[in-house]
Amino acid sequence: MAHKSTFEVAFRRRREGKTDYKKRLALVKSKKVRLVVRKTNTRIIAQAMTFDPKGDNTIASVDSKDLKKYGWLGTNNTPSAYLVGYLLAKKSGKQSCVLDIGRKHSSHGSVVFATLKGAVDGGFDIPHNIEAVPSEDRINASVLDAYAKKLGDKAKIVFANYIKEGIEPGLFQKTFEKAKTEISKVKA
C-alpha cells in the first residue's frame, strides 16, 4: 500500500491552459517591465506590467477598441496590433521591457510581433529579432488596400464594419497614417 500520492494536481491556471509558470518565472526574474500581449477573437490587448509579490502592477493598458478615438477601427488585424503597441508606448513613456506572449506560440509576422514593433517605434526598448516583425506593407495597411481593390464590389461587404465607421476601402493606409499621427501626440 502506497503512503504517498503519485499524482500531483497542477495549479488551476496551468490546468486551464492560461499560465506557463516556468516561462513566467523566467520573465519575472528579469526584473524588467513586461510587455504583455494577448490576442482574442475580436481584439488585441497590450499591457506594461511590473512584478509585485502581492500581484502584478499595471503601468498602462491599451485595448484595440481604444483606437476608435484616434480614427481607426480597432480589430485584431496587423495594423491594429501595431497601433495598440504604439499607443501603449506613448502612454507609458520610455521603458526597457521584455515581451510576454503567454502561452501563445511565436510565429514570425504575427500580430504579437506587430504589437512589439509598434511599442519599439513608440519608445520601448525591447530585444527582438527584426525578422520576426511583419513586413511594412502589412503594418501600414497597404495590404488591406490592395485586397479591397482586388475584391472590387465585394469589398463593401467584406469591409462593412470599416465603412460603418467612415473608413472606405482603398483608404486604409491614409487612415492608418492619420491615426498614427494622432497617437504620436499622446504624452505619458
Q: Domain boundaries in the chain?
A: 18-134
Average pLDDT (89-118) is: 92
Query: Given the C-alpha cell 464594419, which residue does it identify?
Result: 161
The 10s digit of each residue's pLDDT in 19-33 is 888 888 888 888 899
pLDDT of residue 2: 64
| CATH dotted code for 18-134 | 3.30.420.100
Q: How confident is the model at residue 1 (pLDDT cuts 50, 70, 90)?
A: low
The 10s digit of each residue's pLDDT in 43-86 is 999 999 999 989 889 999 999 999 999 999 888 999 999 999 99
Q: Which of 177, 48, 69 is nearest to 119 (CA)?
A: 48
3-state secondary structure 83-150: HHHHHHHHHHCCCEEEEECCCCCCCCCCHHHHHHHHHHHHCCECCCCHHHCCCHHHHCCHHHHHHHHH
168: number of Cβ within 10 Å: 14
pLDDT of residue 151: 93
The answer on pLDDT for 103 being more than 90 is no
Q: How confident is the model at residue 17 (pLDDT cuts 50, 70, 90)?
A: confident
Which residues have C-beta within 8 Å of that of residue 75, sequence separation ≥ 6? Answer: 42, 43, 64, 161
pTM of the model: 0.90
